[in-house]
Structure 1
């Protein structure tokens, strides 16, 4: 491309490539890209997209696995002024169709396999073909108003697109909450369709570090993950609470050689932190409990956890640079010790929800008593300590987090109810302290007998893996409270303890339970080992497949 792109995320990364062209930027197995090579990849993709008609502000879906090609493709889209729309290849066709239509995508970049659910007007391009584009002059493009569209679970039954701006990502690379610097190596472990990518890919590239791609089989196997973190000399890693708990249950020394370990997505158990520090007495690793929302660009607060951690709850800490965290009680700031809703402000706040003006106006608000500044209402309830540190105490709505993924129960219920045999459905989460997180449960009232295989296929075709209930219970009726709402406490009390999956002759660990939750839903009619007709409803099905300690399947 001629000249330089003015302003934005791509500009900052490309400026690094000019100052330090030989520094290592991306490592993906045997493939290593220095900053100059990464810039060349981005230039090839940008030129290829330009020749295919992509212009500033147009949305380009990216359906690629975690890889060096993914990084180069995203940077190329940004360089041509496009909007990156991460697309999960595991999505049901209907969900992908909605995302591509809602985002107004003109093109999908794929790995050779065209994703299902393409609208007719959307064209396709293979990433390898774009990366092989012969370089040549092409017009410069300024950044789009928003650079990323991340789709999350929606309250109305369909995923909603969060419009993330460059400024929110640039803020993540500001010093003050972590150690950054040239040559520091960041692990890239996240699903490429989720916003953790904003941290794992762009923070190292903005600060002169290196993004190290961790392959799926390695990321899912504690023994291999520990070896990879050591071999690749990883300095910083971001993991979900559930993943951290599951991995260290099998490999207590995993992460012990990593300087900074950021853990978030669900409440972090104090006993887990104490046990990890106790199991690694000589480690200099610093654990950080982080909190974030896609609507505030991945991370908003961070709390470094001392080895001698005190208290019963791990706080989410203080706001990141360029971020404001405000506990709001009605029309005023909350007093220390008072329960209030968490509002987030600053550079990380997203532009809003794509094509959802009413929900945008409800969640993104201006506070007159804060000089009209704009904030995102998280729906999380917090308590403020005397020093300004925050602790999450609950939710103001039904939204839950499972395995680090945000889930709107209403969206799951809507899809379950599209099965002709289901009359009523209620979805909720139940915390499993032993696994370090929560599991998603569904309760259904049937119109008539439904073969479980038919129900399971319905879930597979209508819900992505992260939104499929871990267990489904058949009930005769949904209990209600005096005010007419579903009595969730009664359902949870009758359901029995969280599933452990015992009874198949395989030793079950927290890691295996996590593997089960990431499988594509329950398989087969297998009565739960904790089933008791006297205390709980009949168990529709239980996952009969699992991930072993070596990462394979039985």
Structure 2
């Protein structure tokens, strides 16, 4: 690379909003053949920047394409610009592709690339011109041409060719006579550049999204552009320039408005490692590296990594004797304790998949899961044993692998039932084997078991360690109920990194004062909160009273800017907003909150390593940037599916409708993907309700309510009254005085359409919470309607959290 950076001349053609279009322009000859003029007549409401690749000092012969592209990307970054699309004439395609490559390397979301081919200036024509000129140029090879030896001959020949093509394009003769004499310098620069770049290697893997050609034009040739991938748009021109057609502007408008497979409706995180690692590999490395460091503790005992390994391996041996191996579930039924952590590690060391059961579940639910999942064994503590009911078909052991009193192992025969995902085999363990199975609520009223493989879990934990490294000296608080998938990283991230896992006491996750005291006493570095619980925590802790915290994570519900800003104002640790369904290895996007968060929502951010996401309409087609659609997920994060429910698995995990065959998961979540690649959450598709025939998005009501400075949290529901008619009810925290309640009501009426204004607004001291810390919508109190009319506000006290 030359020591002197190439100069780049980028000029703005017109003002606008949003990310700009970048035009790589070699062919600005007449009004009819100017791409900038075509764009100026299009409906693309964005600024247009033109890289003048002819008139500017960019076409110095000894400067490479990559140098020029780097200079262009640097100039755009200096201006704070990140183009949404790069448009290039066919002759400028190599430069345009390298610009896309340089911008992507600089961290910008990958721009779309649309190539426009003026049919009178195709590469074939240039190659023919070069061949015809070779005899006149003393037989010098093409690679030796830089324009110095043959400028007069080249200019004469190209002027002749240009005049002929413009005549074929039916340009008036007086315009031809005016234009052609002025083109010598432009052609000299263009031809000099083209000779050096026509056959230059292009960045590997980069494809244009569309090539626009005329009927008589040849498609821009490159052997790595498969016809089924690169879209070709033809204009019905018998001859002449594509740019001379009146429909080109409309065509470009359509292409730029349509998201593309590589464009703004989808974003992809950095690639996964793909080395076949399993969770056991991460644990065993940690055992070897930190044998004498504290690994896990509760209020009764502490274990070093050596002690953890010894106890877990002993249980793993017992499990293997019962037939546990790859893809074999092992159920766990226990309260939170260090012994529970040992049991989870033991199942993984036995190559099984751990299946958590909640001791507070009704006996019928526990029995259903055991029947449906058909685990090879059940590990439980004595306190939780009664919750297992009568399970003669499942061997029941204590958490340490011993038989429980009264548990007859001899008569318990492990079996493979309808829910089994494959009996243990003699094959070696693989990263596609199940690591854990978590049951979530199903729309049929029966829970469904989500089976997550090692590759997704390892990818998720590796990303977290790369992004937020922890190690010896750090402590992670395990407080999430272990039937909620956030608990998976709480257990296994610290144990795979040499940090200390601190087990909160059973039910301690419900007590914010206990949590604050534990964070201080144990010098906790990392903690997770569901946003509803974070609100309660902030209400009872003094600012900066937990100085040991290094990272605080929130997920499970929408995090409001109000909650985020209250935390950031009172604590020094960063707050990270995570998002992910159980079906996608815990979390798939991340966002580190700004201080303060300025918008009406906190973004869920960008995809983590190994995750691809896209936003689609109801038919599975991509929506444009900025539009709300359903979030689809792909990549290494995806679960294998639902145990024993192949039809549901096939419906939820389906091949992409674009024909690529990529397996995608439909989340049911509504999101907006911005042009900067950042995702915003906008509620659940199943939270859309219809009232009097009008579709209403409950998330929109909640978002508008949270914009009011007096509102900390908001939950909207459609309650069916005795009359059978549904009514919108909005629940708010904290409790409000009468004047503030009226102000909130007016705020809603000023921002929402009439059908979205709640019939009642119910302030609560706190929202009722489920065992997982999410808002318990079923426990929200019924409103009291009065003669005050639609939207009457009543104060209600919050029920005691479950």
Structure 1 and Structure 2 fold alike (TM over 0.5): yes
Correspondence for 1:145 among 423, 429, 433:
433
Is the counterpart of residue 497 in structure 1 residue 761 in structure 2? yes
Correspondence for 1:325 among 613, 616, 635:
613
Cross-structure match for 2:306 = 36
Correspondence for 1:475 among 685, 710, 722:
722
Shift of 1:178: 2.4
Cross-structure match for 1:366 = 655
Helix, strand or coil at the partner of 1:173: helix
Structure 1 residues 52, 188: closer, same or farther in 2, change over 3 A?
same
Helix, strand or coil at the partner of 1:314: coil
Cross-structure match for 1:383 = 672
Q: Distance in 2 between matches of 1:127 and 1:52?
A: 15
Shift of 1:42: 1.0
Structure 1 residues 32, 359: closer, same or farther in 2, change over 3 A?
same
Correspondences of 1:175-324 after superposition (within 5 Å) = 175=463, 176-216=466-506, 218-253=508-543, 257-280=548-571, 283=572, 285-324=573-612
Shift of 1:208: 2.1
Is the counterpart of residue 436 in structure 1 residue 706 in structure 2? no
Shift of 1:399: 8.9
Shift of 1:153: 0.7
Q: For residues 390-439 of structure 1, give each alpha carbon's deviation from its aligned partner in whole angstroms, at most 9, with x where no partner exists.
A: 00123222499xxxxxxxxxxxxxxxxxxxxxxxxxxx999696563648
Shift of 1:338: 1.7
Shift of 1:97: 1.5
Cross-structure match for 1:122 = 394
* 1:103–1:149 contact (8 Å) kept in structure 2: no
Q: Distance in 2 between matches of 1:398 and 1:363?
A: 18
Helix, strand or coil at the partner of 2:467: coil
Structure 1 residues 331, 106: closer, same or farther in 2, change over 3 A?
closer
Helix, strand or coil at the partner of 1:167: helix
Using the size of structure 1 for normalisation, the TM-score is: 0.72
Shift of 1:517: 10
* 1:479–1:490 contact (8 Å) kept in structure 2: no
Q: Distance in 2 between matches of 1:111 and 1:311?
A: 47
* 2:534–2:563 contact (8 Å) kept in structure 1: no
> Larger relative contact order (C-alpha < 8 A, sep ≥ 6)?
1
Structure 1 residues 60, 492: closer, same or farther in 2, change over 3 A?
farther
Helix, strand or coil at the partner of 1:275: helix
Q: For residues 500-531 of structure 1, give each alpha carbon's deviation from its aligned partner in whole angstroms, at most 9, with x where no partner exists.
A: 3xxxxxxxx438x5489979x9999x997x63
Aligned residues: 454
* 1:169–1:202 contact (8 Å) kept in structure 2: no
Shift of 1:63: 0.5
Is the counterpart of residue 105 in structure 1 residue 375 in structure 2? yes
* 1:188–1:197 contact (8 Å) kept in structure 2: yes
Structure 1 residues 225, 142: closer, same or farther in 2, change over 3 A?
same
Cross-structure match for 2:362 = 92
Structure 1 residues 490, 48: closer, same or farther in 2, change over 3 A?
farther
What do you get for the CA RMSD once the two structures are aligned?
Answer: 3.8
Shift of 1:55: 4.4
* 1:523–1:545 contact (8 Å) kept in structure 2: no
Is the counterpart of residue 510 in structure 1 residue 766 in structure 2? yes
Cross-structure match for 2:267 = none
Structure 1 residues 527, 380: closer, same or farther in 2, change over 3 A?
closer
Q: Distance in 2 between matches of 1:120 and 1:490?
A: 55
Helix, strand or coil at the partner of 1:149: strand
| Residue ranges of structure 1 left out of the alignment (5+ in a row) | 1-5, 133-138, 401-427, 444-473, 482-488, 501-508, 537-541, 548-552
Q: For residues 331-385 of structure 1, give each alpha carbon's deviation from its aligned partner in whole angstroms, at most 9, with x where no partner exists.
A: 5543321222211122211001111112211111222648422221111111111
Structure 1 residues 226, 33: closer, same or farther in 2, change over 3 A?
same
Q: For residues 35-64 of structure 1, give each alpha carbon's deviation from its aligned partner in whole angstroms, at most 9, with x where no partner exists.
A: 111111111111222344544433221011
Shift of 1:11: 2.8
* 1:235–1:258 contact (8 Å) kept in structure 2: yes
Shift of 1:218: 3.9
Is the counterpart of residue 9 in structure 1 residue 279 in structure 2? yes
* 1:516–1:543 contact (8 Å) kept in structure 2: no
Q: Distance in 1 between matches of 2:397 and 2:322?
A: 9
Helix, strand or coil at the partner of 1:244: helix
Using the size of structure 2 for normalisation, the TM-score is: 0.51
Q: For residues 455-484 of structure 1, give each alpha carbon's deviation from its aligned partner in whole angstroms, at most 9, with x where no partner exists.
A: xxxxxxxxxxxxxxxxxxx62424599xxx
Is the counterpart of residue 27 in structure 1 residue 297 in structure 2? yes
Greater share of residues in helix? 2
Q: Distance in 1 between matches of 2:716 and 2:490?
A: 26
Structure 1 residues 349, 252: closer, same or farther in 2, change over 3 A?
farther
Q: Distance in 2 between matches of 1:439 and 1:109?
A: 40
Q: Distance in 1 between matches of 2:279 and 2:773?
A: 32
Shift of 1:252: 4.6
Correspondence for 2:784 among 509, 531, 542:
531
Q: For residues 263-286 of structure 1, give each alpha carbon's deviation from its aligned partner in whole angstroms, at most 9, with x where no partner exists.
A: 121211112222222234xx2x10
Q: Distance in 2 between matches of 1:527 and 1:49?
A: 47
Structure 1 residues 32, 66: closer, same or farther in 2, change over 3 A?
same
Shift of 1:163: 0.7
Shift of 1:224: 2.2
Structure 1 residues 7, 305: closer, same or farther in 2, change over 3 A?
closer
Report which of the two structures shows the higher radius of gyration computed on alpha carbons. 2
Q: Distance in 2 between matches of 1:269 and 1:153?
A: 25
* 2:319–2:401 contact (8 Å) kept in structure 1: no
Task: Pick which of 433-442 and 381-390 moved more.
Answer: 433-442
Q: Distance in 2 between matches of 1:167 and 1:214?
A: 28
Cross-structure match for 1:157 = 445
